[in-house]
């Protein structure tokens, strides 16, 4: 037990020092992110002043960088759902060190992702019309409902499973904790004392939320897909769009978790808890989803290309051979096939290889969302010349500012809340030790 | 019929009447018998029975085209609107069917030509059309059987109920914590076993 | 190997810092829901170290309780804004704005506007030597901002060769994809069958533009030019002036003019009289010169609609042709580009390209 206690103290020490010890590197990072966010806000004020004319969008391609990144950012929040809920319900013990980080990343991504539709509106001053005058038959209203429900659910899930850790930090002796931290932890611990009744309540609530949040998450991205597939556009009006988007979201979510895990592990020296095994298992999941994505793409394009109905010849030509060909083939070969190979081959199945694969996947999924939106809108509806779209500096600035905001929220999260779920870690360790030690 | 078309036909008819042997019916020799209801209603089909006979011997005229027209005005343009067209059969009978769309006293005209090239004649008739219900309707709106707002409300209520229950369990944890904390205080105050 | 007793002791010691943990026997669930009887005994023998808060009295509990109540309250309030629209939908007001009067015939029945474009008479104004006059009339009449062509003359390839000119206003669909997807009912279907836009309701999300399969909706990307005289017009959904930045506009079948018994601008502007405007309820249509029974005119001339297979059920019909009735050869390509002369006299507006 000496060993267990020592191990616990070490873990606790690492996690708390991650929260309280603010190095210069951290301040530089936060400062840089704040600067980028400020630049994004400035670009948005330019847009507010002059209207959407400052973007590259026009009548024929009226959705572009904002909407494609909206889908992308909501998609990367799926890592959290997968880690916390799915792995929890299937009893995968290896998830324990990474659930907190995954949930935090999901919340950060969701909060920022929900801003994108507002940024894209021509009249953001009338945003409240969505609530006051909303039509329930509209895919956009379904999206508003779904995302707000998902946001509430993710918040609840995060703070519910943080209660025991909050209690731990609340009770922790020492002057390292400032006063506001103590107050915050006291409030968020909800009077946790660790008694049997509380534990039972928490367990039931946690299981219920884990079961509930999976259909909510699947619904959110399916509804997002329906924003596109309920329109009569070539390649959008496809029945496979819902599952296609969900698969893509899980794919990019796993990749995001891998990258965030690698970064946090490096910075806060959590190598003891987040090991190569975690990367390898997540890499396997990533590999499985590359197969899923390849399958979905083949199913979609083979069906369309076999009969070549309507505008299919134009669309497939611009996607495979024309304007969007570099993007498409990078995504297919670089984003799907390459990470699959990296995971498959034993000599790249290590932390470096899997993080590299994850980075490629994140970039590829962002590009995939982009050409999905823009290429379908470029298909001419009547006899006119196809248009050209390129994002303007305003769109780039706002989107990069939004990504920086996600990073900023994550950086703040790591400072305020324990980055590893200590109580869940402790359970495994205790059980493992007890089983090994006493032969019980 | 268009004004421009009548003149050449008239000339041809006159020429034909001069040069061709008998058998061609002179335009003024066509008798028309009209059988039409006096009253009708908007949206209900009206049948007008027209019999064409040559006035001399009463022989029915076959394959003669009969056109039904009405005087109409819309957006300050006035003119004759073609409502129905039919050809007479061997018995010289043509049946014209049309659905009145305007109520009131309808001034209808029947145009008929005894044979190709003969001068068309007109006969007037009046039908009093009563008002009827709306015929055409705008059909906009999504109509998927089973998709209604109550299904959405039911799903949303179920989901929000689950979230609400989870939130309530946090309240419950707090309440239990307060209780057990108070209980612990009590027992400690009584001098319970120290740790 | 430490003994059982010392193990227990150490577990309790550890629990001081980790009050919620216990020595687990088994279980795969995230939380200890299973406990051994030993732990129960330990609870009785050795009191758990209690957290300091409750000893400070009831004040802390009240503050906690208040925060909890606030949190739960926020959770309850969050879904409420959606409830009014859900209730409104269930009452079944439908898509039509209740404060708008439908245009009626003298008989009192509601007009059912339709438009028939006779392509046998449309040559893209090649023979007239000007840009398409239907578009020019619409731009002048409605003060359509540049570069909006609410009725746009496309030159389509005929399957057998040659081209035809297709003047394309809004199709005024009876199953309008734009109305179906609008989140705030800014675009709506009227009882007359036309589809209008409420400039005061549109939030500029542009999903209607993505939904329209005929490219007939236009967005005010920048500050649109507004003719001074349009500011004198009272607000009505029957006319789309003054234009507002960040909202969508399109052809609306000139409801204010049709209601008054005048023909739309494009009908009056066409030098070939190729466009007919009519009422399906009264079954009548006119191009300004001739008057026809709409249903017969359509049936006798093989009328068709664009993209029929999409199921949008347009109210706009075409009679096939390529301008042959006005002497156009179908292999003569090209028409003059559209202009927006009125825009030049309004200062301070932004211009953009389609």
For residues A396-407, average pLDDT: 97
The residues in A 163-192 lying below 8 A from C, measured between CB atoms, are 164, 167-168, 170-172, 186-187, 190-192
Classify residue B120 by its DSSP letter: P
Q: What confidence score (pLDDT) does residue C228 get?
A: 80
Q: What confidence score (pLDDT) does residue C160 get?
A: 94
Is B122 in CB contact (< 8 Å) with chain C? Answer: no
| Per-residue pLDDT at A19 exceeds 90 | no
Give dist(CA B129, CA B72) in Å, integer: 14
**Please, which residues have CB within 8 angstroms of residue B158's CB and are 6 or more apart in sequence?**
none
Q: What percent of chain B lies above the pLDDT cut of 90?
A: 39
- The shortest C-alpha distance from A339 to chain C (Å) reads 32
Q: What confidence score (pLDDT) does residue A428 get?
A: 77
Of the candidates C55, C64, C279, which has its C-beta nearest B74's C-beta? C279
Q: What confidence score (pLDDT) does residue C28 get?
A: 35
- The shortest C-alpha distance from C150 to chain A (Å) reads 12
| Better-scored residue on pLDDT, B170 or B2 | B170
Give dist(CA C140, CA A273) in Å, integer: 72
Instruction: Please judge whether C30 and A206 are an interchain contact, meaning their C-beta atoms are less than 8 angstroms apart.
Output: yes
Interface A–B counts its CB contacts (< 8 A) at 70
Reported confidence tier of residue C241, pLDDT bands at 50, 70, 90: confident
Is C277 in CB contact (< 8 Å) with chain B? Answer: yes
Q: What percent of chain A lies above the pLDDT cut of 70?
A: 97
Instruction: Please judge whether C89 and B177 are an interchain contact, meaning their C-beta atoms are less than 8 angstroms apart.
Output: no
Give dist(CA A269, CA C167) in Å, integer: 69
Q: What is the CB-side half-sphere exposure of residue A7 using CA atoms within 13 A?
A: 16
Instruction: Please judge whether B81 and C68 are an interchain contact, meaning their C-beta atoms are less than 8 angstroms apart.
Output: no
Is A4 in CB contact (< 8 Å) with chain C? Answer: yes
Least confident of A59-63, A422-426, C296-300: A422-426
Reported confidence tier of residue B12, pLDDT bands at 50, 70, 90: low
- The shortest C-alpha distance from B95 to chain C (Å) reads 17
A232 contacts on B by Cβ (under 8 Å): none
Give dist(CA C277, CA B75) in Å, integer: 9
- The shortest C-alpha distance from C295 to chain B (Å) reads 9
Chain mean pLDDT for chain A: 91
pLDDT tens for each residue of B89-133: 999 999 999 999 999 888 999 998 876 677 788 899 999 999 989
Is B144 in CB contact (< 8 Å) with chain C? Answer: no
Q: What confidence score (pLDDT) does residue B9 get?
A: 57
**Max CA separation in chain A (angstroms):** 80
pLDDT tens for each residue of B86-97: 999 999 999 999
Instruction: Please judge whether C353 and A58 are an interchain contact, meaning their C-beta atoms are less than 8 angstroms apart.
Output: yes
Reported confidence tier of residue C84, pLDDT bands at 50, 70, 90: low
pLDDT tens for each residue of A174-198: 766 788 888 889 888 888 988 899 9
Instruction: Please judge whether A208 and B180 are an interchain contact, meaning their C-beta atoms are less than 8 angstroms apart.
Output: no
Among chain A residues, CA nearest to C186: A133
Reported confidence tier of residue A200, pLDDT bands at 50, 70, 90: very high
For residues C52-64, average pLDDT: 47
Reported confidence tier of residue C53, pLDDT bands at 50, 70, 90: very low
| Per-residue pLDDT at B191 exceeds 90 | no
**Please, which residues have CB within 8 angstroms of residue A419's CB and are 6 or more apart in sequence?**
A15, A18, A19, A100, A101, A104, A264, A268, A270, A413
User: Is the Cβ–Cβ distance between A381 and C213 less than 8 Å?
Assistant: yes
pLDDT tens for each residue of C130-164: 999 999 999 999 999 989 999 999 999 999 999 99
| Better-scored residue on pLDDT, A415 or C57 | A415
Q: What confidence score (pLDDT) does residue C58 get?
A: 45
Q: What confidence score (pLDDT) does residue C253 get?
A: 95
Reported confidence tier of residue C31, pLDDT bands at 50, 70, 90: very low
Reported confidence tier of residue C5, pLDDT bands at 50, 70, 90: low
Give dist(CA B27, CA B56) in Å, integer: 11
pTM over 0.90: no
Of the candidates C15, C19, C28, which has its C-beta nearest A167's C-beta? C19
For residues C263-271, average pLDDT: 97
Least confident of A239-248, A327-336, C99-108: C99-108
Of the candidates C61, C261, C290, which has its C-beta nearest B79's C-beta? C290
Is A202 in CB contact (< 8 Å) with chain B? Answer: yes
Among chain C residues, CA nearest to A432: C24
Instruction: Please judge whether B173 and A202 are an interchain contact, meaning their C-beta atoms are less than 8 angstroms apart.
Output: yes
C-alpha radius of gyration, chain A, whole number: 23
C28 contacts on A by Cβ (under 8 Å): 91, 93
* Domain boundary assignment for chain A: 2-438
A140 contacts on C by Cβ (under 8 Å): 181, 183, 205, 207
Q: What confidence score (pLDDT) does residue C137 get?
A: 97
A197 contacts on B by Cβ (under 8 Å): 176, 180
Among chain B residues, CA nearest to A199: B173
Instruction: Please judge whether C53 and A186 are an interchain contact, meaning their C-beta atoms are less than 8 angstroms apart.
Output: yes
CATH for A2-438? Answer: 1.20.1630.10
User: Is the Cβ–Cβ distance between C32 and C26 less than 8 Å?
Assistant: no
| Per-residue pLDDT at C2 exceeds 60 | no
List the end-to-end C-alpha distance of chain A, in Å, as a whole number: 14
| Per-residue pLDDT at A199 exceeds 60 | yes
B170 contacts on A by Cβ (under 8 Å): 156, 159-160, 163, 190, 205
Instruction: Please judge whether B152 and A136 are an interchain contact, meaning their C-beta atoms are less than 8 angstroms apart.
Output: yes
Is C175 in CB contact (< 8 Å) with chain B? Answer: yes
Q: What confidence score (pLDDT) does residue B118 get?
A: 73
| Per-residue pLDDT at A148 exceeds 60 | yes
Give dist(CA C20, CA C340) in Å, integer: 75
C214 contacts on A by Cβ (under 8 Å): 381-382
Q: What confidence score (pLDDT) does residue A279 get?
A: 93
Interface B–C counts its CB contacts (< 8 A) at 145
* Domain boundary assignment for chain C: 4-49, 113-345
**Which among C282, C290, C295, C315 is the top mutation candidate for probing chain B, defined by the most B β-carbons within 10 Å of its own β-carbon?**
C282
Give the CA distances from residue B149 to residues A215, C72, C171, in Å, rounded to whole numbers and listed in that order.
20, 26, 29
pLDDT tens for each residue of A371-395: 999 999 999 999 999 999 999 999 9
Q: Please give the structure tokens belonging to residue B58.
A: 């009463």
Reported confidence tier of residue C227, pLDDT bands at 50, 70, 90: confident
Is C256 in CB contact (< 8 Å) with chain B? Answer: no
**Which among A157, A197, A232 is the top mutation candidate for probing chain B, defined by the most B β-carbons within 10 Å of its own β-carbon?**
A197
Q: Does domain C113-345 have CATH number 3.30.70.20?
A: yes
B187 contacts on A by Cβ (under 8 Å): none
A192 contacts on C by Cβ (under 8 Å): 19-20, 51
Dihedral Cα C247, A147, A369, A63, nearest 10 deg: 0
* Domain boundary assignment for chain B: 3-130, 145-195
Is C86 in CB contact (< 8 Å) with chain B? Answer: yes
| Per-residue pLDDT at A6 exceeds 60 | yes
- The shortest C-alpha distance from C24 to chain A (Å) reads 5
Instruction: Please judge whether B166 and A209 are an interchain contact, meaning their C-beta atoms are less than 8 angstroms apart.
Output: yes
**Which among A139, A170, A190 is the top mutation candidate for probing chain B, defined by the most B β-carbons within 10 Å of its own β-carbon?**
A190
Which residue is it, tokens 């999941």? A285
Q: What confidence score (pLDDT) does residue C80 get?
A: 58
Is B81 in CB contact (< 8 Å) with chain C? Answer: yes
Least confident of A28-32, A257-261, B179-183, C339-343: B179-183
For residues A224-232, average pLDDT: 95
Reported confidence tier of residue C42, pLDDT bands at 50, 70, 90: very low
C55 contacts on B by Cβ (under 8 Å): 181, 185
Reported confidence tier of residue C231, pLDDT bands at 50, 70, 90: confident
Give the CA distances from residue A410 to residues A100, A115, A404, B179, C302, in Å, rounded to whole numbers and listed in that order.
11, 17, 10, 36, 64
Pick the CATH number of B3-130 from 1.10.8.10, 2.60.40.10, 3.30.1360.70, 2.30.30.100: 2.60.40.10
Reported confidence tier of residue A366, pLDDT bands at 50, 70, 90: very high
DSSP string, A321-333: TSTTHHHHHIIII
Q: Which of B99-108, C10-19, C286-295 has the largest mean confidence?
A: C286-295
Is C17 in CB contact (< 8 Å) with chain B? Answer: no
| Better-scored residue on pLDDT, C53 or C348 | C348
Q: What confidence score (pLDDT) does residue A438 get?
A: 42
User: Is the Cβ–Cβ distance between C121 and C272 less than 8 Å?
Assistant: yes
Give the CA distances from residue C176 to residues A135, B56, B139, B144, in Å, rounded to whole numbers and listed in that order.
15, 61, 10, 15
| Per-residue pLDDT at C268 exceeds 90 | yes
Instruction: Please judge whether C81 and A131 are an interchain contact, meaning their C-beta atoms are less than 8 angstroms apart.
Output: yes
| Per-residue pLDDT at A216 exceeds 90 | yes
Instruction: Please judge whether C219 and A136 are an interchain contact, meaning their C-beta atoms are less than 8 angstroms apart.
Output: no
Q: Please give the structure tokens belonging to residue A328.
A: 């498409």
| Better-scored residue on pLDDT, A267 or C268 | C268
Instruction: Please judge whether C282 and B74 are an interchain contact, meaning their C-beta atoms are less than 8 angstroms apart.
Output: yes
User: Is the Cβ–Cβ distance between A221 and A75 less than 8 Å?
Assistant: yes
Residues of B in CB contact (< 8 Å) with A are 142, 149, 152, 156, 159-160, 162-163, 165-167, 169-178, 180-181, 184
For residues A275-283, average pLDDT: 92
The residues in B 7-36 lying below 8 A from C, measured between CB atoms, are none
């Amino acid at each position: 037990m000496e060993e267990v206690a020592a191990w616990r103290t070490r873990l606790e020490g690492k996690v708390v020092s991650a929260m309280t010890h603010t190095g210069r590197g951290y301040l530089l990072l936060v400062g840089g992110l704040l600067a980028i966010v400020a630049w994004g806000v400035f670009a948005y004020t330019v847009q507010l002043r002059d209207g959407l004319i400052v973007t590259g969008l026009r009548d024929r391609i009226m959705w572009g960088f904002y909407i494609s990144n909206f889908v992308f950012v909501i998609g990367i929040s799926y890592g959290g759902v997968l880690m916390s809920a799915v792995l929890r319900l299937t009893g995968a013990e290896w998830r324990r060190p990474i659930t907190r980080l995954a949930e935090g990343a999901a919340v950060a991504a969701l909060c920022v992702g929900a801003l994108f539709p507002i940024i894209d509106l021509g009249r953001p001053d009338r945003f409240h019309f969505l609530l006051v005058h909303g039509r329930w038959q509209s895919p956009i209203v379904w999206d508003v409902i779904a995302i707000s429900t998902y946001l509430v659910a993710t918040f609840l899930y995060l703070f519910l499973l943080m209660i025991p850790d909050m209690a731990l930090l609340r009770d922790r002796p020492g002057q390292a904790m400032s006063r506001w931290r103590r107050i915050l932890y006291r409030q968020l611990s909800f009077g946790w004392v660790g008694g049997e009744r509380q534990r039972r309540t928490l367990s039931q609530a946690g299981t219920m939320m884990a079961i509930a949040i999976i259909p909510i998450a699947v619904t959110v991205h399916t509804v997002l897909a329906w924003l596109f597939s309920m329109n009569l556009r070539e390649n959008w009006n496809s029945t496979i769009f819902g599952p296609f988007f969900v698969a893509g979201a899980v794919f990019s979510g796993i990749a995001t978790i891998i990258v965030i895990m690698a970064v946090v592990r490096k910075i806060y020296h959590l190598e003891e808890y987040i090991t190569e095994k975690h990367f390898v298992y997540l890499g396997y999941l990533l590999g499985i989803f590359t197969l899923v994505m390849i399958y979905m793409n083949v199913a979609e394009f083979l069906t369309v290309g076999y009969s070549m109905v309507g505008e299919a010849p134009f669309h497939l030509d611009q996607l495979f051979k024309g304007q969007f060909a570099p993007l498409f083939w990078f995504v297919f070969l670089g984003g799907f096939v390459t990470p699959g190979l990296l995971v498959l081959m034993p000599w790249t199945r290590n932390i470096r290889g899997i993080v590299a694969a994850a980075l490629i996947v994140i970039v590829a999924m962002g590009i995939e969302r982009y050409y999905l939106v823009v290429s379908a809108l470029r298909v001419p509806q009547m006899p006119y010349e196809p248009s050209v779209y390129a994002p303007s500096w305003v769109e780039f600035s706002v989107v990069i500012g939004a990504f920086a905001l996600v990073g900023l929220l994550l950086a703040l999260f790591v400072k305020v809340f324990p980055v590893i779920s200590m109580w869940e870690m402790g359970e495994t360790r205790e059980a493992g030790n007890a089983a090994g030690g006493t032969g019980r | 019929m268009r004004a421009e078309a009548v003149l050449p036909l008239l000339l041809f008819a006159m020429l034909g009447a001069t040069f061709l042997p008998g058998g061609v019916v002179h335009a003024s020799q066509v008798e028309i018998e009209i059988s039409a209801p006096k009253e009708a209603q908007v949206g209900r089909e009206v049948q007008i029975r027209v019999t064409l006979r040559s006035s001399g011997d009463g022989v029915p005229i076959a394959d003669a085209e009969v056109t039904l027209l009405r005087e109409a005005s819309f957006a300050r343009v006035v003119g004759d609107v073609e409502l129905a067209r039919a050809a007479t059969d061997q018995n010289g009978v043509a049946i014209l069917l049309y659905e009145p769309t305007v109520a009131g006293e309808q001034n209808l005209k029947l145009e008929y030509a005894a044979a190709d090239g003969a001068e068309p004649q007109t006969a007037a008739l009046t039908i009093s059309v009563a008002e009827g219900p709306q015929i055409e309707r705008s059909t906009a709106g999504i109509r998927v059987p089973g998709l209604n707002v109550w299904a959405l409300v039911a799903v949303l209520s179920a989901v929000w109920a689950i979230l609400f229950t989870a939130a309530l369990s946090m309240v419950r944890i707090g309440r239990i914590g307060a209780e057990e904390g108070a209980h612990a205080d009590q027992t400690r105050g009584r001098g319970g076993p120290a740790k | 190997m430490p003994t059982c007793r010392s193990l227990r002791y150490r577990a309790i010691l550890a629990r001081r810092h980790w009050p919620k943990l216990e020595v687990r026997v088994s279980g795969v669930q995230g939380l200890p829901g299973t406990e051994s009887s030993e732990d129960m005994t330990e609870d009785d023998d050795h009191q758990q170290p209690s957290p300091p808060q409750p000893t400070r009295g009831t004040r802390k509990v009240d503050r906690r309780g208040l925060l909890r109540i606030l949190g739960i309250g926020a959770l309850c309030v969050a879904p409420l804004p959606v409830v009014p629209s859900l209730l409104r939908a269930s009452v079944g007001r439908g898509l039509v704005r209740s404060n708008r009067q439908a245009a009626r015939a003298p008989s009192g029945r509601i007009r059912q506007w339709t438009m028939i474009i006779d392509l046998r008479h449309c040559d893209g104004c090649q023979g007239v030597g000007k840009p398409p006059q239907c578009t020019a009339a619409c731009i002048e009449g409605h003060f359509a901002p540049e570069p909006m062509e609410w009725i746009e003359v496309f030159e389509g390839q005929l399957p057998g060769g040659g081209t035809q000119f297709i003047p394309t206003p809004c199709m005024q669909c009876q199953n309008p994809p734009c109305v179906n997807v609008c989140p705030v009912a800014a675009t709506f279907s009227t009882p007359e069958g036309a589809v209008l836009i409420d400039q005061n309701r549109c939030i500029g999300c542009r999903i209607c533009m993505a939904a329209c399969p005929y490219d007939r909706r236009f967005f005010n990307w920048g500050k649109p030019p507004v003719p001074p005289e349009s500011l004198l017009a009272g607000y009505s959904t029957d006319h789309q002036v003054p234009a507002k930045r960040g909202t969508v506009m399109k052809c609306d079948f000139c409801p204010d003019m049709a209601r008054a018994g005048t023909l739309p601008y494009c009908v009056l502007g066409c030098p070939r009289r190729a466009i007919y405007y009519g009422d399906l309820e009264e079954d009548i249509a006119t191009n300004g010169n001739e008057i026809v029974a709409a249903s017969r005119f359509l049936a006798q001339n093989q009328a068709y609609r664009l993209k029929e297979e999409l199921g949008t059920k347009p109210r706009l019909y075409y009679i096939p042709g390529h301008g042959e009735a006005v002497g156009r050869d179908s292999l003569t390509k090209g028409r003059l580009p559209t202009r927006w002369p009125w825009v030049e006299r309004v200062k301070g507006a932004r211009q953009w390209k389609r």
